[in-house]
Every structure is written in structure tokens, then in C-alpha cells.
Structure 1
Amino acid sequence: MKILVIEDDASTGAYIAEGLREEGHCVDLIADGADGLVQAAVGTYDVMVIDRMLPGLDGMSLVKTLRATKNATPVLFLTALGGVDDRIEGLLAGGDDYLVKPFAFGELSARIAAIARRPPFQDQPTVLTAGDLRMDLLQRKVTRAGRPIDLLPREFALLEHLMRRKGRVQTRTMLMEAVWDIHYDPQTNVVDTHISRLRGKIDKPFDTELIETVRGSGYRIVE
């Protein structure tokens, strides 16, 4: 594979490049974020390994720029920032995987191989729409008729699930398992409560209702 490594720490960069070359890969090593963006734009790579903290342009901004220009090359973020929020932020910015320093080279190699096998980034939509409702998955923003709508994380996840299955009925059991990762408990009304909150934000202020109740079945998003 042809791999671009963007890492400003000289010893870490050399360690990664040497190990990958020993495995038979062709590696370009860049130490600056801005230079790395240019190289990523003009070169053709199978995978990119990008540090989050870079001079010139940070890794997060670099990847967001690549995704905005439809560059679908799989990205593995490599960083010392290992908190859950940091990992989530990196993945939402367009990263395909996230490896925290210090790391074992064997794991790095395995993760590179894994993301190289995944479907390309552009196969997955980053913007979902239903009528005048728009959800930007990368920016984590929702608007309707151009008006911004503030959603809590669980509300966002619930709306995303419905919008990805636009026009298809989603039962309460499906929603509980997909959004809350638990089997449906008939004693809880958590789904109905969150649907009601969503309606209050994306339906009630507007003339047309997009969240439809299918009596005896569940809910769905309609155009």
C-alpha cells in the first residue's frame, strides 16, 4: 500500500515509516500539517496516518478539509489525546480509526490493514435530508428551513436513525436497541418521551410535520 504519514515528532515518524517500509509499504513522511494537506491533495494514497497535534495545521482541521473536498482516503488518527470525547471528536471529524500513543507497532499495522478494507468514506452520506430538514453528520448540525435546531446527543442519535431510514417504520424495540443499545423494556416510555421532545423542536415550530406515528407500530420520518 501507499501510505502517507503526517507526524511532527521526528522519532515517532521515523519509527512508523521504517516499520511500514519493512512490511513492504511505500511511505511518504510529512512533519507539518499544512504541507501534509498539500501532499494528501496531490498524491494518491491507500491510507493516511495523521497526528492530531501538528504545526501549520492541526490534524482535525486537515481531515475536515480533506472530507469537504471529497477525499475519501481512510484516515487513522494517531495522538496522545486518549479521552472518550477526544476519540469521538476525531471520528466525527472524518477519521476512520483512532490510536492512542504510546502504541504497539503491531496494533498500528493491524488497524491500517483494517481501515484499508472498509468501504470508501464517500459511500456513507455525511448529510441527511427529509424535506426542508437537514442534518450534517460531520458538523453535528441540524437545520430546518435554514433555521438551526439545537439537539441533545440522544435526540441527535434518534433523529439520525430515523432519517437514515426515511419512510420506513421503526418500532420502539428497534429504536431502543439502536439508540440506547438495550433491549426494549415495555415498562419504559423513553422512546415516546424523546420523540415528543424531537417533535417540539423540528415539527411544532413549522407548518409540516415530519415525524409520523404509525399506530400500533412505531415512528418514521416522512418527506
Structure 2
Amino acid sequence: MRPVLLLGIDRPGLTGPLAARGLVARAVTADPVAALVADGVPRPLCPAVVEAGSLDVAARLLDDGADDVVLRSDSDALVAARLDALIRRLPFGQVQFGDIAIDTLDRRASKAGKPLPLLPREYSLLLFLARRGGALIDHATLHQALWDRRFDPGTNVIAVHISRLRAKLGDGPVTVITERGRGYRLALSTVDR
């Protein structure tokens, strides 16, 4: 059985269509947006799917990190089919960015096949940036996702972890780019950091 995480979805009739496709669901009916950034990573180790009542809410949830959003009006069979298609497209347990491979099941990362000796927070930071595929991530988002703080504590803790992560990544095509005053992004580049 392949796992799928259902955030904010309460559909008792979905169990049968999922089981028929070899899927088992773990339902989280608490705040779906908060659950997307649980444990310092943007989502758990399996795809996160959220149910929404409107297209506007669906768009916001996708922007917040959901892998997919289903509407309340969608049938259970359609939801099960979309979940199955989503899981087939995602490399379960593996995130790749350039020559960096991140194994989310073992919580390990490697560069060009060689292990990266990352501390837990460095691992979470690398995974968070890699899952966003080069998008700029502002300080507030990093503070909330990795330290569960909804405010800027006025320290340079992010800059320190970014510096350590850069040192461990070393030379190569993958680097962490700083956009002063805006945030950080993972990039395939040789541009000065």
C-alpha cells in the first residue's frame, strides 16, 4: 500500500476507492495550512492533498505548499484517481535538485553520490529550499517553517545556517543564492553568492 496524506479531507466513502488503487490515507483534519509545514519541512514524507470549498481557496492552498487540491464537489472516485496519478508522478522519498539528492525517508542528502554530513536543521533547510525548485524564500517563511516562529527574532540564525549549508555544499552547480533583504533560493549556478 502506498501512503497519501489527506489534509482537511473528511470523506468516509473515500477509503474504498483508495484501497482499490493500493492507496492508504492518513487524514489530518486540523488546520491544513499549518500541517503543510509541520516538523520543519514543507510537508510530510508523502504527498499532501487538501480539500477546498472554492477555487480561490484551492489556489491559496496550492501556493502554500499542497501537492494537489480537490474540491468538495469532486466525487470520491475522481479524488482517488487524482491521488493515484499524483503519487505515480512523485518520486516517493526522493527529492533531486541538480547533483543534490535528498532521501526523505532516511533524512540523508548526497552531492554527486557522496554523502553530505548535514545537521538536522541544515538538512531541513536544504530540503525546504530544494522542494521549492529555485523559488525565492523570504526570511519570515523560513523562520516559520524551520523554527516555528511567526516573527523575526532579530537574529542572524538563518544567515548562520545558510553559511554552514553553503560550506557543506562546496563548489558545484548547486548553490544557495542570497538576495539581500528579500531571502534565499537554491540555484543551479556558478554566480557569486
Q: TM-score range by the shorter chain?
A: 0.5 to 0.7
Does residue 181 of structure 2 align to residue 216 of structure 1?
yes
Percent of aligned pairs with the same residue?
A: 34
1:94-105 map, 5 Å: none
Task: Tell me: higher relative CO, structure 1 or 2? Use CA pairs within 8 A at least 6 residues apart.
Answer: 2
Does residue 73 of structure 2 align to residue 73 of structure 1?
no
Distance 2:137 2:15 in 1: 46
Give 3-state SS (helix, strand or coil) of 2:101's partner. strand
Residue 171 of structure 1 aligns with which residue?
Answer: 138
Q: Provide the TM-score with structure 1 as the length reference.
A: 0.47
Distance 1:219 1:93 in 2: 23
The verdict on how the C-alpha distance between 1:144 and 1:24 changes in structure 2, with shifts beyond 3 A counting, is closer
Aligned residue among 157, 161, 166 for 1:194 = 161
The verdict on how the C-alpha distance between 1:184 and 1:192 changes in structure 2, with shifts beyond 3 A counting, is farther
Gaps of 5+ in 2: 2-11, 27-38, 49-75, 189-193
Residue 20 of structure 1 aligns with which residue?
Answer: none
Q: How many residue pairs were aligned?
A: 130
Q: What do residues 138-180 of structure 1 show as CA deviations (whole Å, max 9, x unaligned)?
A: 2322110111012222211111111111221111111101111
| Matched residue type, 1:177 | Q
Assess if the C-alpha contact under 8 Å between 2:143 and 2:150 holds in 1. yes
Residue 46 of structure 1 aligns with which residue?
Answer: 18
Distance 1:207 1:143 in 2: 13
1:106-125 map, 5 Å: 119-120=83-84, 122=87, 124-125=90-91
Distance 2:174 2:156 in 1: 21
Task: Mark the structure with the bigger radius of gyration.
Answer: 1
Give 3-state SS (helix, strand or coil) of 1:166's partner. coil
Q: What do residues 106-139 of structure 1 show as CA deviations (whole Å, max 9, x unaligned)?
A: xxxxxxx9xx879446155432222111112123
Does residue 122 of structure 2 align to residue 155 of structure 1?
yes
The verdict on how the C-alpha distance between 1:133 and 1:95 changes in structure 2, with shifts beyond 3 A counting, is closer
Residue 129 of structure 1 aligns with which residue?
Answer: 96
Q: Provide the TM-score with structure 2 as the length reference.
A: 0.53
Distance 1:198 1:182 in 2: 21
